[in-house]
Amino acid sequence: MNINSNIKPNVESKVVPSSSWSTDEAEKTYQVQRWGNGYFEIGEQGNINVIPRYDQPELKLDLREIIDEMAEAGIEFPAVIRFHDILKSQIERLNLTFQTTIKAAGYQGQYFGVFPVKVNQMREVIEEVISIGEHFNYGLEAGSKPELIAALAYNTNKNSLTVLNGYKDEEYLRLALLGTKINRNIIIVIEKYSELIKLVELVKKLHIKPIIGLRAKMMVKGRGKWESSGGERAKFGLGIAEILNAIALLKQENMLECVQLLHFHIGSQLTDIRSIKEAVQEASLIYAKLVKDGVPLRYIDVGGGLAVDYDGTQSTNDSSCNYNLEEYIADIVYGFKQNCDLENVAHPHIVSESGRAMTAHHSCVITKVIGEIHPSGNCYKTASMPNEHILVTNIRDIQETLDDDNYQEAYNDIAVIKEQAMNAFKLGILSLDELAKVETLYWQILNEIAILAKHHDFIPDELAEIPNLLSSQYLANFSVFQSAADSWAIDQVLPIVPISRLNEKPTKLCSLVDITCDSDGKIDHFIGGKNVLPLHQLQADEDYYIGLFLTGAYQDVMGDMHNLFGRLNEVHIVSHDDDPKDFYIEEVVKGSSVENVLSTMQYTPQILAQVIKKEIDKQIKQGKVNPREGGALIDFYENCLAGYTYLKS
């Protein structure tokens, strides 16, 4: 028996677009404009359009044209498509909105944003962030020694900041002081009191005066999955008593002038604007009191947390937020201005570490659907046989008498018979052939009940689940663990949309499964709280591509090596008015080869190839394989080693 017999290839006949379906209906289904933040839309032609520049809404790129050009260039899927113009747009929007709000408010400080390297450590992303941000003195935030080493090499703008978070050992602190020595604006944020003691010792030894930041452990807690970043049990930060002890130590060591920044952070993906307002209120009062006590603070670092509306609901759902960029910035600027004015202290320069909102929209994962797995599998002959078991006869009778009047009763009956059949099989009463007939008839009747139920205005709750039971699983050529890690690990909702055919009515309800051998390798939670997604029938003569959007924050870099599926091929797209298609492929970054991922796991590909060559040579000597065939087998193995880890679909 073929173990993949219930995986259906792309063999459906071509579907004619429905006259009752339009791209407006598609928008209601997939909510592209709600989560797209102005960067994505459903085009009139039924394809996803990308609008890469917030200030050029007329510039639209057809994503299907981009995919087709990639395919023609021999770029294998799955692949990451990175739109650097979107990244540029987001950084510009953040900085310009802060500048505009600061001017409108009469705020006396400036804005110095930093991009957290941990959000997307890819070299191409960091280079683009630094290039775009130079005009705004937009810097970097590092949270580990490797990130600091990269930041020291890349953030060469003498007017921007490099903010250092995370726990620090002596080597980390020495690296930070090295940055200070070469005239970088390095701010060492003290997360725990013992770090300050180490730093003071190094300063005495090396005679380098650093810029020091103190991270306050806020009483306010954020809202959402990361709310534990704030509050008394927060992992990082100094309590008020520890802050005062730190200041006393620095006074004693004649280093008080080094303390220039107060930092707080109450969580990533802050879903509720009220938590931001509360945090600003608390932090501004701490800042003002410290300044009045003689601490020469110049900067307030509001941390990260600027959320992305992944599901488009504009709510406090974990995958959404109930505010926009303008409201977020206004609450920070006006909040600090008001409290500083009330306390009669100077307005601090504002620092924020908004990484998720900067990068999420700029990249997406494109994968091809390569098959369909239906719960009913293939049909099995169910004709009546002499002396068949009564359970088979009963379920066949239910099918023959099924109508509009008894379909709910039929549903209840077949559920009982299916369970009885399985129990009978376990006791050796029912044969495999009879069990297969019961199973086949069960799914056939379920399909017929679903059709009958559509004609009724009221559907009982227990029958409402039938469409989900009958839904297909579309097998897509990717790994959830590599490309959508948060979808698997924390139930993060990522927008998932077919790239084309959006002017056709989707007739299939599906979840997505990947090509790993892990049963967790699936996506079955979608926008709107649904566990199925409307998709189109697969066609024999057309590739069907699915896009996983908003993957530029964390998903790009958090993927693991499950099943040794490595990094995806990556394409960088730049918009260009003079090009006939308004875009060009700037760069192609090859994904992991098999030998790459094996080397990562401490295999030696050359030795593996030698072992196989010896085995084939042995077969040739024994006359079991002819020399020409043996050479071809060796070449095949070596080509596989050099090839892409994903399926050739």
In this structure, the answer to whether residues 333 and 412 fall within a common structural domain is no
In this structure, the answer to whether residues 350 and 398 fall within a common structural domain is no
In this structure, the answer to whether residues 400 and 325 fall within a common structural domain is no
Q: What is the CATH classification number for the domain harbouring 416? A: 1.20.58.930
Residue 561 falls inside a structural domain = no
In this structure, the answer to whether residues 303 and 432 fall within a common structural domain is no
Q: Are 495 and 38 in contact (CB under 8 A)?
A: no
- What pLDDT does 494 receive? 95
**pLDDT band, residue 528 (cuts 50/70/90):** confident
Q: What percent of the chain stands above pLDDT 90?
A: 82
Among the candidates 434, 467, 500, a domain finishes at: 467
Task: Determine if the peptide bond prior to 78 is cis (ω within 30°).
Answer: yes
| Least confident window among 16-30, 53-67, 474-488, 564-578 | 16-30
Please name which of 146, 281, 141 lies closest in space to residue 213, comparing C-alpha atoms: 141
The pairing of strands 363-373 and 496-498 is unpaired
pLDDT at 315 over 70: yes
Please state the rounded mean pLDDT for residues 35-50.
97
Residues 6+ apart with CB under 8 A from 567: 482, 559, 591, 592
∠527-531-536 over CA atoms, to 5°?
80
- What pLDDT does 222 receive? 55
Residue 611 falls inside a structural domain = yes
pTM, two decimals, is 0.89
Q: Are 566 and 613 in contact (CB under 8 A)?
A: no
In this structure, the answer to whether residues 319 and 210 fall within a common structural domain is yes
- What pLDDT does 224 receive? 57
- What pLDDT does 220 receive? 73
pLDDT at 12 over 70: no
Q: How far apart are CA 237 and CA 223, in angstroms?
A: 18
In this structure, the answer to whether residues 203 and 304 fall within a common structural domain is yes
H helical segments located in 454-561: 461-464, 466-469, 480-483, 485-489, 555-558
In this structure, the answer to whether residues 197 and 296 fall within a common structural domain is yes
In this structure, the answer to whether residues 247 and 343 fall within a common structural domain is yes
Report the half-sphere exposure of 208 (CA within 13 A, side-chain side): 21
Q: Which amino acid is at 318?
A: D
Domain that holds residue 613: 595-642
Please state the rounded mean pLDDT for residues 381-404.
93
Residue 364 CA from chain centroid, whole number: 9
Mean pLDDT score across all residues of the chain: 92
Residues 90-130 have pLDDT tens digits of 999 999 999 999 999 999 999 999 999 999 999 999 999 99
In this structure, the answer to whether residues 316 and 413 fall within a common structural domain is no
Residues 237-253 have pLDDT tens digits of 899 999 999 999 999 99
**Across 526-595, where does the E strand assignment appear?**
533-535, 545-548, 569-575, 583-589
| Least confident window among 375-389, 541-555, 577-591, 626-640 | 375-389
Catalogue the long-range contacts made by 38-41 (C-beta closer than 8 Å, 24 or more residues apart): 39/83, 39/86, 39/89, 39/361, 40/361, 40/549
Residue 419 falls inside a structural domain = yes
Residues 324-355 have pLDDT tens digits of 999 999 999 999 999 999 999 999 999 999 99
Backbone angles phi, psi at 535, to 5 degrees: -135, 175
- What pLDDT does 377 receive? 64
- What pLDDT does 584 receive? 94
Residues 405-442 have pLDDT tens digits of 899 999 999 999 999 999 999 999 999 999 999 999 99
Number of domains making up the chain: 3
